Structure 1
Amino acid sequence: MDQELMRIGVSLPENLLSKFDAIIEKRGYSSRSEGIRDAIRNYITHYEWMSDVKGRRVGTITLIYDHTKRGLSSALTDIQHEYAHLIKSAIHIHLDHDNCLEVVILDGEGEDVKAVAERIMSLKGVTYVKLNTALPAET
Protein backbone atom coordinates (compact mmCIF):
# COMPACT_ATOMS: atom_id res chain seq x y z
CA MET A 1 0.00 0.00 0.00
CA ASP A 2 1.48 3.35 -1.05
CA GLN A 3 1.55 6.11 1.51
CA GLU A 4 1.52 9.77 0.61
CA LEU A 5 4.91 11.37 1.27
CA MET A 6 5.00 14.66 3.15
CA ARG A 7 7.76 17.17 2.50
CA ILE A 8 9.33 18.88 5.53
CA GLY A 9 12.23 21.25 6.14
CA VAL A 10 14.80 20.72 8.88
CA SER A 11 17.58 23.02 10.07
CA LEU A 12 20.69 21.28 11.40
CA PRO A 13 24.16 22.39 12.45
CA GLU A 14 26.70 21.68 9.69
CA ASN A 15 28.75 19.24 11.79
CA LEU A 16 25.66 17.15 12.64
CA LEU A 17 24.60 16.99 8.99
CA SER A 18 28.14 16.04 7.91
CA LYS A 19 28.22 13.17 10.42
CA PHE A 20 24.76 12.03 9.30
CA ASP A 21 25.77 12.15 5.63
CA ALA A 22 28.87 10.05 6.37
CA ILE A 23 26.73 7.44 8.13
CA ILE A 24 24.13 7.19 5.38
CA GLU A 25 26.90 6.80 2.81
CA LYS A 26 28.57 4.01 4.84
CA ARG A 27 25.23 2.25 5.33
CA GLY A 28 24.38 2.51 1.65
CA TYR A 29 21.19 4.54 1.81
CA SER A 30 19.97 5.72 -1.57
CA SER A 31 19.25 9.21 -0.24
CA ARG A 32 19.37 11.46 2.79
CA SER A 33 15.57 11.15 2.97
CA GLU A 34 15.78 7.37 3.36
CA GLY A 35 18.31 7.78 6.17
CA ILE A 36 16.07 10.30 7.91
CA ARG A 37 13.04 7.99 7.56
CA ASP A 38 15.05 5.14 9.12
CA ALA A 39 16.26 7.39 11.96
CA ILE A 40 12.68 8.52 12.66
CA ARG A 41 11.45 4.90 12.68
CA ASN A 42 14.19 4.03 15.21
CA TYR A 43 13.28 7.06 17.33
CA ILE A 44 9.60 6.00 17.34
CA THR A 45 10.54 2.42 18.31
CA HIS A 46 12.71 3.70 21.16
CA TYR A 47 9.94 6.03 22.36
CA GLU A 48 7.39 3.19 22.32
CA TRP A 49 9.81 0.96 24.27
CA MET A 50 10.32 3.71 26.84
CA SER A 51 6.56 4.22 27.11
CA ASP A 52 6.15 0.63 28.27
CA VAL A 53 8.31 0.98 31.40
CA LYS A 54 5.91 0.05 34.19
CA GLY A 55 6.35 -1.44 37.65
CA ARG A 56 9.49 -1.32 39.74
CA ARG A 57 12.65 -0.76 37.71
CA VAL A 58 16.32 -0.33 38.43
CA GLY A 59 18.22 1.55 35.83
CA THR A 60 20.75 4.07 34.67
CA ILE A 61 20.53 7.31 32.79
CA THR A 62 23.76 8.12 30.97
CA LEU A 63 24.08 11.68 29.75
CA ILE A 64 26.65 13.95 28.17
CA TYR A 65 26.17 17.68 28.40
CA ASP A 66 27.91 21.02 27.92
CA HIS A 67 28.35 22.38 31.44
CA THR A 68 29.08 25.87 30.04
CA LYS A 69 25.50 26.11 28.71
CA ARG A 70 23.88 28.79 30.84
CA GLY A 71 21.56 27.37 33.51
CA LEU A 72 22.00 23.73 32.45
CA SER A 73 23.98 22.50 35.47
CA SER A 74 21.42 24.14 37.75
CA ALA A 75 18.50 22.58 35.84
CA LEU A 76 20.10 19.12 36.07
CA THR A 77 20.65 19.55 39.80
CA ASP A 78 17.03 20.67 40.27
CA ILE A 79 15.73 17.59 38.43
CA GLN A 80 17.93 15.30 40.51
CA HIS A 81 16.71 16.90 43.73
CA GLU A 82 13.09 16.62 42.59
CA TYR A 83 13.57 12.88 42.02
CA ALA A 84 15.88 12.25 45.00
CA HIS A 85 13.55 9.45 46.18
CA LEU A 86 14.51 7.47 43.03
CA ILE A 87 18.16 8.38 42.62
CA LYS A 88 20.53 6.10 44.50
CA SER A 89 23.81 7.49 43.18
CA ALA A 90 25.37 9.57 40.42
CA ILE A 91 28.82 9.55 38.87
CA HIS A 92 30.15 12.73 37.28
CA ILE A 93 33.17 12.81 34.95
CA HIS A 94 34.77 15.80 33.20
CA LEU A 95 35.37 14.78 29.58
CA ASP A 96 37.04 17.99 28.46
CA HIS A 97 36.86 21.72 29.17
CA ASP A 98 33.16 22.00 28.26
CA ASN A 99 31.64 18.51 28.40
CA CYS A 100 30.66 16.30 31.30
CA LEU A 101 29.38 12.74 31.49
CA GLU A 102 27.02 11.63 34.23
CA VAL A 103 25.59 8.25 35.04
CA VAL A 104 22.56 8.42 37.32
CA ILE A 105 21.49 5.20 39.05
CA LEU A 106 17.80 4.88 39.89
CA ASP A 107 15.42 2.47 41.62
CA GLY A 108 11.67 3.00 41.63
CA GLU A 109 8.45 3.06 39.64
CA GLY A 110 9.24 2.73 35.93
CA GLU A 111 7.00 5.63 34.93
CA ASP A 112 8.94 7.91 37.30
CA VAL A 113 12.31 6.61 36.08
CA LYS A 114 11.20 7.36 32.51
CA ALA A 115 10.01 10.83 33.56
CA VAL A 116 13.48 11.70 34.88
CA ALA A 117 15.08 10.64 31.57
CA GLU A 118 12.55 12.59 29.51
CA ARG A 119 13.05 15.73 31.60
CA ILE A 120 16.81 15.48 31.06
CA MET A 121 16.40 14.77 27.31
CA SER A 122 14.46 17.99 26.82
CA LEU A 123 17.19 20.28 28.17
CA LYS A 124 19.22 22.39 25.72
CA GLY A 125 22.91 21.57 25.97
CA VAL A 126 22.34 17.89 26.72
CA THR A 127 23.89 16.14 23.72
CA TYR A 128 23.32 12.48 24.67
CA VAL A 129 20.86 10.63 26.91
CA LYS A 130 20.40 6.88 27.21
CA LEU A 131 18.00 5.20 29.63
CA ASN A 132 18.57 1.54 30.47
CA THR A 133 16.20 -0.27 32.80
CA ALA A 134 15.83 -3.77 34.18
CA LEU A 135 13.43 -5.60 36.44
CA PRO A 136 15.08 -6.09 39.82
CA ALA A 137 15.74 -9.70 40.77
CA GLU A 138 13.00 -11.34 42.84
CA THR A 139 14.09 -12.16 46.39
Structure 2
Amino acid sequence: MGVVSVSMPDSLVERIDEFTEEHGYTGRSEFLREAARDLLGEFEDRKLEDRELMGIVTVVFDYEGTTVEERMMQLRHEHEDIVASNFHSHVGDHNCMELFILEGNLEQISTFVGKIRATTDTKTVDYSVTPIGDGEGIV
Protein backbone atom coordinates (compact mmCIF):
# COMPACT_ATOMS: atom_id res chain seq x y z
CA MET A 1 0.00 0.00 0.00
CA GLY A 2 1.34 3.43 -0.96
CA VAL A 3 1.89 6.20 1.56
CA VAL A 4 0.72 9.76 0.87
CA SER A 5 1.82 12.75 2.90
CA VAL A 6 -0.76 15.57 2.99
CA SER A 7 -0.40 19.07 4.42
CA MET A 8 -3.53 20.72 5.80
CA PRO A 9 -4.46 23.37 8.34
CA ASP A 10 -4.41 22.30 12.00
CA SER A 11 -8.10 23.15 12.31
CA LEU A 12 -8.95 20.64 9.56
CA VAL A 13 -6.79 17.95 11.18
CA GLU A 14 -8.63 18.54 14.46
CA ARG A 15 -12.00 18.18 12.71
CA ILE A 16 -10.84 14.95 11.06
CA ASP A 17 -9.61 13.58 14.39
CA GLU A 18 -12.91 14.44 16.11
CA PHE A 19 -14.91 12.90 13.27
CA THR A 20 -12.86 9.69 13.21
CA GLU A 21 -13.28 9.26 16.96
CA GLU A 22 -17.01 10.04 16.96
CA HIS A 23 -17.75 7.70 14.04
CA GLY A 24 -15.53 4.75 14.97
CA TYR A 25 -12.82 5.01 12.32
CA THR A 26 -9.55 3.31 13.24
CA GLY A 27 -7.65 6.49 12.37
CA ARG A 28 -7.01 9.26 9.87
CA SER A 29 -5.89 6.87 7.14
CA GLU A 30 -9.16 4.94 7.14
CA PHE A 31 -11.13 8.19 7.12
CA LEU A 32 -9.07 9.68 4.25
CA ARG A 33 -9.26 6.47 2.18
CA GLU A 34 -13.05 6.51 2.45
CA ALA A 35 -13.20 10.24 1.65
CA ALA A 36 -10.99 9.72 -1.42
CA ARG A 37 -13.12 6.81 -2.67
CA ASP A 38 -16.27 8.90 -2.22
CA LEU A 39 -14.81 11.90 -4.04
CA LEU A 40 -13.50 9.78 -6.92
CA GLY A 41 -16.85 8.00 -7.23
CA GLU A 42 -19.00 11.14 -7.27
CA PHE A 43 -18.86 11.63 -11.01
CA GLU A 44 -18.58 7.97 -12.00
CA ASP A 45 -22.35 7.44 -11.99
CA ARG A 46 -22.99 5.59 -15.27
CA LYS A 47 -26.62 6.75 -15.52
CA LEU A 48 -25.39 10.33 -15.96
CA GLU A 49 -22.95 9.63 -18.78
CA ASP A 50 -23.86 10.88 -22.26
CA ARG A 51 -26.74 12.96 -20.86
CA GLU A 52 -27.38 16.66 -20.72
CA LEU A 53 -27.18 17.78 -17.08
CA MET A 54 -27.88 20.80 -14.92
CA GLY A 55 -25.43 21.47 -12.12
CA ILE A 56 -25.74 23.86 -9.20
CA VAL A 57 -22.46 24.84 -7.52
CA THR A 58 -22.29 26.98 -4.36
CA VAL A 59 -18.97 28.37 -3.13
CA VAL A 60 -18.43 30.28 0.15
CA PHE A 61 -15.22 32.18 0.78
CA ASP A 62 -13.76 34.99 2.88
CA TYR A 63 -13.50 38.04 0.66
CA GLU A 64 -10.75 39.73 2.68
CA GLY A 65 -7.18 38.94 1.70
CA THR A 66 -7.97 36.24 -0.87
CA THR A 67 -8.05 36.00 -4.64
CA VAL A 68 -11.02 33.60 -4.69
CA GLU A 69 -13.42 36.13 -6.17
CA GLU A 70 -11.00 36.81 -9.03
CA ARG A 71 -10.59 33.06 -9.62
CA MET A 72 -14.40 32.63 -9.71
CA MET A 73 -14.57 35.29 -12.43
CA GLN A 74 -11.80 33.56 -14.41
CA LEU A 75 -13.59 30.20 -14.20
CA ARG A 76 -16.91 31.77 -15.20
CA HIS A 77 -15.31 33.13 -18.38
CA GLU A 78 -13.19 30.04 -19.04
CA HIS A 79 -16.34 27.87 -18.90
CA GLU A 80 -18.83 30.28 -20.45
CA ASP A 81 -20.06 27.43 -22.66
CA ILE A 82 -21.63 25.69 -19.61
CA VAL A 83 -22.24 28.56 -17.14
CA ALA A 84 -25.89 29.38 -17.72
CA SER A 85 -26.10 31.76 -14.76
CA ASN A 86 -23.93 33.13 -11.98
CA PHE A 87 -24.90 34.97 -8.78
CA HIS A 88 -22.68 36.66 -6.21
CA SER A 89 -23.77 37.73 -2.73
CA HIS A 90 -22.22 38.93 0.51
CA VAL A 91 -22.97 36.61 3.43
CA GLY A 92 -22.25 37.65 7.02
CA ASP A 93 -19.37 39.91 7.99
CA HIS A 94 -16.54 38.69 5.76
CA ASN A 95 -17.96 36.02 3.49
CA CYS A 96 -19.14 35.90 -0.08
CA MET A 97 -21.24 33.26 -1.78
CA GLU A 98 -20.87 32.44 -5.46
CA LEU A 99 -23.65 30.41 -7.10
CA PHE A 100 -23.20 28.84 -10.52
CA ILE A 101 -25.95 27.24 -12.63
CA LEU A 102 -24.35 24.94 -15.19
CA GLU A 103 -25.68 23.15 -18.25
CA GLY A 104 -23.46 20.53 -19.83
CA ASN A 105 -22.35 16.93 -19.78
CA LEU A 106 -20.83 15.00 -16.90
CA GLU A 107 -17.23 15.61 -17.96
CA GLN A 108 -17.74 19.38 -18.35
CA ILE A 109 -19.45 19.77 -14.97
CA SER A 110 -16.92 17.49 -13.26
CA THR A 111 -14.04 19.55 -14.65
CA PHE A 112 -15.65 22.80 -13.49
CA VAL A 113 -16.33 21.49 -9.96
CA GLY A 114 -12.77 20.14 -9.76
CA LYS A 115 -11.32 23.54 -10.61
CA ILE A 116 -13.56 25.22 -8.03
CA ARG A 117 -12.48 22.69 -5.38
CA ALA A 118 -8.82 23.26 -6.27
CA THR A 119 -9.17 27.00 -5.64
CA THR A 120 -7.18 27.99 -2.56
CA ASP A 121 -9.04 29.71 0.32
CA THR A 122 -12.57 28.49 -0.42
CA LYS A 123 -14.45 27.65 2.78
CA THR A 124 -17.08 25.34 1.28
CA VAL A 125 -17.93 23.96 -2.14
CA ASP A 126 -21.30 22.21 -2.53
CA TYR A 127 -22.98 21.00 -5.69
CA SER A 128 -25.79 18.91 -7.09
CA VAL A 129 -26.32 17.44 -10.55
CA THR A 130 -29.57 16.42 -12.23
CA PRO A 131 -30.48 15.21 -15.72
CA ILE A 132 -32.35 17.80 -17.77
CA GLY A 133 -35.80 17.03 -19.09
CA ASP A 134 -36.52 13.53 -17.79
CA GLY A 135 -38.03 14.35 -14.39
CA GLU A 136 -35.46 12.44 -12.32
CA GLY A 137 -34.51 13.81 -8.91
CA ILE A 138 -31.29 15.54 -7.96
CA VAL A 139 -28.30 13.24 -7.65
TM range (shorter): 0.7 to 0.9
Q: Give SS of 2:25's match.
A: coil
Alignment of 1:1-139 (within 5 A): 5-49=1-45, 53-138=49-134
Aligned length: 134
For residues 56-108 of structure 1, what are the alpha-carbon distances to aligned partners after superposition, in whole Å with 9 as ceiling and x for unaligned?
A: 11121111223234432122112112323322222323223332222211223
- Aligned residues: CA RMSD: 2.6
Q: Which runs of 5+ in 1 are unaligned?
A: none
The answer to whether the 8 A contact 2:43-2:110 is kept is no
Q: Give SS of 1:48's match.
A: coil
What's the counterpart of residue 137 of structure 2? none
Question: Quick one: structure 1 residues 25 and 129, their matched pair in 2 at CA, closer, same or farther if it must change by over 3 Å?
Answer: same
Q: CA deviation at 1:128?
A: 2.3
Answer with 1 or 2: which has the greater Rg. 1
The answer to whether the 8 A contact 1:53-1:114 is kept is no
CA–CA distance in 2 between the matches of 1:121 and 1:28? Answer: 27
The answer to whether the 8 A contact 2:43-2:106 is kept is no
TM-score (norm 1): 0.77
Identity of aligned residues (%): 24
Q: CA deviation at 1:47?
A: 4.9
Q: Which runs of 5+ in 2 are unaligned?
A: 135-139
Deviating more after overlay: 80-89 vs 10-19: 80-89
CA–CA distance in 1 between the matches of 2:4 and 2:108? Answer: 34
The answer to whether the 8 A contact 1:60-1:132 is kept is yes
What is the identity, as a one-letter code, of the residue corresponding to 1:75?
R
TM-score (norm 2): 0.77
The answer to whether the 8 A contact 1:69-1:125 is kept is no
